[in-house]
């Protein structure tokens, strides 16, 4: 097998693993119960209006795509995981939102160049393993003068720290895969987009989370619902010492951030104009 063929085979295997990971647990519940405000905020900050042609990349169950459609935009939601798309369709029907749902890879979007007025992603594209490839696709499908809008967890914020806490217990990433929270670093995002965008506005902001009254409540919710956490626990299920150690690490992390029944999770909001 040629080196190129081997690389293609490995990439397909990695994407299949990612697809399966996000089907674990109950990510739609995470999106609706924990972060429902992030999607509407991204829609507002991206200037989405009636008639805007919008692509939501790594859309999950539509936490940004559905609010965009409810504004009156012409929306396509694309995601790697069919189970999330199906959950999104059901949620959109419940909310009276009309939009298109497409299965697709953020690193190889099934759309033509300059096909959208606004290209956005709400804590989604950050999980594509090859950051430059994904960024290139965001830019490619956005028309000149169009808007790119992103919300991503920061490395220093709570979710970035959670991934750092899980890392010692997770299988090693394949060569070339980059950590998701890097997308929450302004310098990294500017480097990925380069001079193909102008008018970059990047702001670190805090999301208040008041769903958990105790650190263990957070841990058990994520063990049950959040695909990446479910997958890490599955990988160490046969090692009680590691399970106990990760249980402690996640509860300790939550304890450091939980005050009066609430936590604040930091994210980076980025908007930019596609250069002509």
pLDDT at 247: 98
- Which of 11-15, 19-23, 86-90, 123-127 comes out lowest in average pLDDT? 11-15
* Statement: residue 206 has pLDDT above 90: yes
Domain 3-160+173-208+264-274 classified CATH 3.40.50.920?
no
* Statement: residue 4 has pLDDT above 60: no
| Residue 234: band (very low, low, confident or very high) from pLDDT cuts 50, 70, 90 | very high
Domain boundary assignment for the chain: 3-160+173-208+264-274
The pLDDT tens digits of the residues spanning 139-185 come to 999 999 999 999 999 999 999 999 999 999 999 988 889 999 999 99
Cβ(77)–Cβ(98) below 8 Å: no
Cβ(159)–Cβ(180) below 8 Å: no
| Residue 10: band (very low, low, confident or very high) from pLDDT cuts 50, 70, 90 | confident
Of all residues in the chain, what percent are helix, strand and coil, respectively (each to 5)? 50, 25, 30
pLDDT at 97: 98
CA distance linking residue 51 with residue 116, whole number of Å:
11
pLDDT at 3: 61
* Statement: residue 204 has pLDDT above 60: yes
pLDDT at 1: 53
């Amino acid at each position: 097998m040629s080196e190129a063929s081997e690389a293609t085979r490995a990439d397909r295997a990695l994407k299949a693993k990612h697809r399966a990971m996000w089907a674990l647990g109950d990510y739609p519940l995470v999106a609706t119960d924990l972060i429902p405000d992030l999607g509407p905020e991204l829609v507002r900050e991206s200037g989405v209006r009636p008639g805007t042609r919008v692509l939501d990349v790594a859309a999950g169950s539509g936490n940004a795509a559905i609010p965009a459609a409810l504004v009156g935009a012409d929306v396509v939601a694309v995601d790697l995981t069919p189970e999330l798309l199906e959950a999104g369709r059901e949620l959109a029907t419940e909310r009276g939102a009309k939009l298109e749902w497409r299965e697709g890879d953020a690193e190889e979007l099934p759309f033509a160049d300059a096909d959208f007025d606004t290209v956005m992603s709400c804590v989604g594209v950050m999980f594509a393993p090859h950051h430059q490839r994904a960024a290139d696709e965001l830019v490619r499908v956005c028309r000149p003068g169009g808007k790119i809008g992103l919300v991503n967890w920061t490395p220093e914020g709570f979710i970035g720290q959670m991934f750092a806490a899980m890392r010692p217990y997770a299988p090693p990433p394949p060569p070339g895969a980059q950590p998701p929270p890097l997308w929450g670093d302004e310098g990294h995002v500017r480097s990925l987009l380069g001079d193909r965008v102008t008018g970059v506005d990047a702001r670190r902001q805090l999301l208040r989370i008041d769903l958990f009254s105790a650190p263990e409540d957070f841990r058990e919710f994520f063990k049950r619902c959040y695909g990446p956490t479910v997958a890490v626990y599955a990988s160490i299920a046969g090692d009680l010492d590691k399970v106990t150690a990760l249980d402690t690490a996640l509860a300790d992390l939550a304890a450091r951030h939980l005050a009066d029944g609430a936590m604040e999770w930091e994210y980076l909001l980025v908007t930019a104009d596609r250069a002509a």
